[in-house]
Amino acid sequence: MVEAARYLFIVLLGFASGFTSGAFGVGGGVITTPAIRMLLSQSSGIALGTPLPVILPSALVGGFNYWRAGKIIPRVILYCSLFGLAGTAAGSYATALIDTRYIMIATALLILYMAWRTFSTATGKDPYGHLDGKGGEQVLPVWKLALIGIAAGFFSGFLGLGGGVIMVPAFFFILHFELKECLGNSLVIIAVLAIPGSIIHAQLGHVDWPIALFMMLGVMPGAYLGSLFTLRARNRRVLMLFSFFLLAIGIIFLFKEIRGLV
């Protein structure tokens, strides 16, 4: 009975992760990694590795809804994924050379800044934010896509930080995509970036497959409903919710790292 309750909790955890992933174009590791570590009492390696294969079905289900709504841009997926994989490899190697604490503090401050920018745009106070964007028909320079892919991949590999918190604001403020294009394309790219990490962590024994499989049972309906919610919601409301999401991530990471320095 206790074991059944535990796996039911894992399914519900997957649902929450999937909903967040589908709604905001992120990997969902922000929820699953700390939950696996603290609530399921698993090692840090299992907490980092197990969410990675779970991202794939989440992105397939959520990404399908965005694709069906015409929000996926193949050229963006291609270039951001290719350069993102290179960035992920570079970030992973950099963890052995650089103290991540101060970089994480700087990243948390950047995320808080992005939270303020997205909130300001949602409330109409940011003159540089365009709520509806230009859409996917614009000319997209390869070098911009490459830089966004490398940055998202690097932070993903270096800090274990889902690339979505980098890509969504970059697509929105730099490329001026329509908001739901930002979320949909980010979601699919994150899935691609998770593939090599899933393989490596599986080989290292860092994936608890029973946890991953039960989490997938929740993550697929969660991603479907999350992406459906976003596609049907007004851009202003989605951007407001995304700004609160960024704010929560920034505060959690900043508090964690500052506490570690004391």
Per-residue model confidence (pLDDT) at position 118: 86
Query: Is residue 5 predicted with pLDDT exceeding 80?
Result: yes
Domain of 244?
2-261
Residue 188 CB neighbours (<10 A): 24
How confident is residue 188, by pLDDT bands cut at 50, 70 and 90?
very high
Handedness of CA 249, 250, 255, 257 (dihedral sign): positive
More confident residue, 240 or 100: 240
pLDDT, tens only, 166-187: 898 899 888 889 889 999 999 9
Per-residue model confidence (pLDDT) at position 149: 93
Q: 193, 195, 203, 260: which is closest to 26 by C-alpha? A: 193
Is 102 within 8 Å of 110 (Cβ atoms)?
Answer: no
Give the chain's mean pLDDT.
83
Per-residue model confidence (pLDDT) at position 6: 85
Per-residue model confidence (pLDDT) at position 133: 58
pLDDT, tens only, 192-229: 888 887 888 788 788 899 999 999 999 999 999 999 99
Q: 166, 200, 189, 216: which is closest to 51 by C-alpha? A: 216
Query: Is residue 151 predicted with pLDDT exceeding 80?
Result: yes
Phi, psi at 70, each rounded to 5°: 80, 25
Per-residue model confidence (pLDDT) at position 95: 64
pTM of the complete model beyond 0.75: yes
pLDDT, tens only, 42-58: 887 787 788 888 888 88
Longest dimension (CA), the chain: 57
Q: How many domains does the chain have?
A: 1
**Which residues, other chains included, contact 5 with Cβ-Cβ below 8 Å and sequence gap of 6+?**
none
* CB-neighbour burial class of residue 196 (10 A; exposed 0-12, middle 13-18, buried 19+): middle
More confident residue, 235 or 34: 235
Per-residue model confidence (pLDDT) at position 250: 82
Phi, psi at 171, each rounded to 5°: -60, -40
Q: 249, 257, 252: which is closest to 24 by C-alpha? A: 249
Most confident residue range from 74-83, 134-143, 146-155: 74-83
Structure tokens at 44: 């840090």
Q: How far is it, in rounded angstroms, from Cα 222 to Cα 145?
A: 29
Per-residue model confidence (pLDDT) at position 131: 59
